Structure 1
């Protein structure tokens, strides 16, 4: 009897525990519970402690109200230029109405995936490959607009759509790499050509400036050299002019006559006789007549008077007949020439005494 009572009490305790478990339901934060009574929607449980009628009400679904991320596998899509590309997408969505998400569609995630693929094929089908690769933002915006409009009645809001990857076929990738490489080579060649052109221009400008400076330097050098030559010639001409003027003035101050010119002519004859090669020198006997003819010829020269009037400025020449020492290089022919010169002078001026002939004509300088 006592054992039966214990078993009954145990069964009652288990029933109470089961009723309590069916009555009290705890819903986590950011979730919503869908309660059905006899298979029909009754209410939505909020996060926290909730009480339901046991064995009558049933929590059918617990919906996650947080934003969720779903990545769909790559799908083949044909572009406008008939190229097949593989595109995988990422969808960011959030359940806003748990009742609609439960009863309006059986599996909203699968529905979003299929809608994303069909919409993506429709958008990319109107673009070529290059436009598809460079228009991600446009594709994302258009895809999000279509999905948000379609999933609104499902109680789902699509917050963002991203194209995670667009992979063209391997042959197209190889062609794109070649095109990119050719484009980069083209730009490199253009930059190299521009650099060479700038270098050539700068080099030509430098050579031009160098040539200009060199020409200017040569011109200035030639100008300075010409000025120096001109001044040198002017100074040389002035010096020669002053020397000629001094000699001419000295000659006019001395007032020379024909005897002096004949003497200067005869003075060169001993120098002709000098030298080691002149071993023998014969003085002709007609030298007096020759000198007379020379004197008569010079009488007709203009500017040289035959006789001068008035006193002439004379230079003290020392003794009338100085003794000339014998020089090592003088020969016997030279002495004979000197003696012939004296006889010719005495014959040319017979009116003057023999001792005064040397004074009028000057004396023979020592050889």
Structure 2
């Protein structure tokens, strides 16, 4: 029985010795070993063997980068405004021995050092500069912290300001100022837009007026040119028509019978007017016709044996059409002769009025082929 107890005690002693001798250090950590209260060594990650009951692990230091967020701290700016600033520190232990023996609590030391340095930096800035100079504050704060914590075996990698909160009254004033500034910029932009719109509208009206004036000018020029060309064409047409009629008259060789026939055809048209209530046919119509024919025959405009100086191109002449024209001309001449003979007979049969100048004996009818009296 005593042997079993001794064996159990021996087994327990062996376990305790092994526990004191063998130490396993996790990755990214360092163990600080002391011997009789004095620093002995730093154990790396992995399996390590110690002298039991003599060496012991005093601290386990985390070598990874750590993030510490500090609560908001009141800071007074240059213009005597209190703002609350909370910061975030990214640091890493580079020397476990210095972090263990050079300072008692390096996290608290970093926090206090951050607050004091931040008050010094922000105290030289006004509120507006503080709100707009985050990068400058971060750079200056990191430089001071990195220099101060180097002897503690700590390296400050990054410093960030999470928030800068001015007092509520200052926030309200800033919001009013921001609204006023935005309203001002909106009014300026609106005025500039209206000005640009007015300028563009005026330029458009100017261009429109110029184009309308140019269009009216071109239109008037084109109308004037069209009127001139139309007048020229009408004058040329009238001239060609006159030449054509003049040539036709001379080519037809009009005589007294044709002119008398034309006179007889015009007499009903003369009597067609509404104002011609009474129209008396003279008894000497035959003589009048003869005198008119002789007079028209001897006009300068229609000479007996004359041809036009300027010939008008009448186109190709069809022989059949020419024969028909000669036949129609002969028929018209015969009709005129018959009308003249009828007029002379009517004149002979009509008794003259007593005491008038027309009581003279009628003239003998002219012989065929004789020249009518002038």
TM-score by length of 2: 0.64
Alignment partner of 1:31 out of 13, 29, 38: 29
SS in 2 for 1:55: coil
**CA spacing shift, 1:7–1:273, aligned 2, 3 Å:** closer
Alignment partner of 2:72 out of 74, 79, 96: 74
Contact 1:35 1:44 in 2 (8 A): yes
Equivalence for 1:211: 212
Equivalence for 1:261: none
Paired residues, what number? 322
Could you tell which deviates more after superposition, 241-250 or 150-159? 241-250
SS in 2 for 1:29: coil
How far apart in 2 are the matches of 1:206 and 1:280?
Answer: 71
Deviations 1:100-136 (A, max 9, x none): 1112111111111121122222223333444333333
Alignment partner of 2:113 out of 103, 112, 115: 115
Deviations 1:27-86 (A, max 9, x none): 222212222333333332222233333333332211111111111222333334444433
User: Which blocks of at least 5 consecutive residues in structure 2 are unaligned?
Assistant: 257-261, 292-297, 307-329
How far apart in 2 are the matches of 1:60 and 1:25?
Answer: 12
SS in 1 for 2:92: strand
The 5 A counterparts of 1:265-284 are none
The 5 A counterparts of 1:1-367 are 2-3=1-2, 5-169=3-167, 170-172=171-173, 174-175=175-176, 177-179=178-180, 181-182=182-183, 185-186=186-187, 189=190, 192-193=193-194, 196=197, 200=201, 203-204=204-205, 207=208, 210-211=211-212, 214-215=215-216, 217-219=218-220, 221-239=222-240, 242=243, 317-319=336-338, 321-323=340-342, 353-356=363-366
SS in 2 for 1:323: helix
Shift of 1:355: 2.5
How far apart in 2 are the matches of 1:199 and 1:340?
Answer: 99
Shift of 1:216: 5.8
How far apart in 1 are the matches of 2:279 and 2:254?
Answer: 34
**CA spacing shift, 1:357–1:7, aligned 2, 3 Å:** same
How far apart in 2 are the matches of 1:160 and 1:154?
Answer: 17
SS in 2 for 1:158: strand
RMSD: 5.2
How far apart in 1 are the matches of 2:42 and 2:24?
Answer: 13
Shift of 1:160: 1.3
Could you tell which deviates more after superposition, 139-148 or 157-166? 157-166
How far apart in 2 are the matches of 1:83 and 1:111?
Answer: 27
User: Which blocks of at least 5 consecutive residues in structure 1 are unaligned?
Assistant: 257-263, 296-302, 325-334, 363-367
Shift of 1:247: 9.7
How far apart in 1 are the matches of 2:90 and 2:365?
Answer: 152
TM-score by length of 1: 0.65
SS in 2 for 1:121: helix
**CA spacing shift, 1:218–1:138, aligned 2, 3 Å:** same
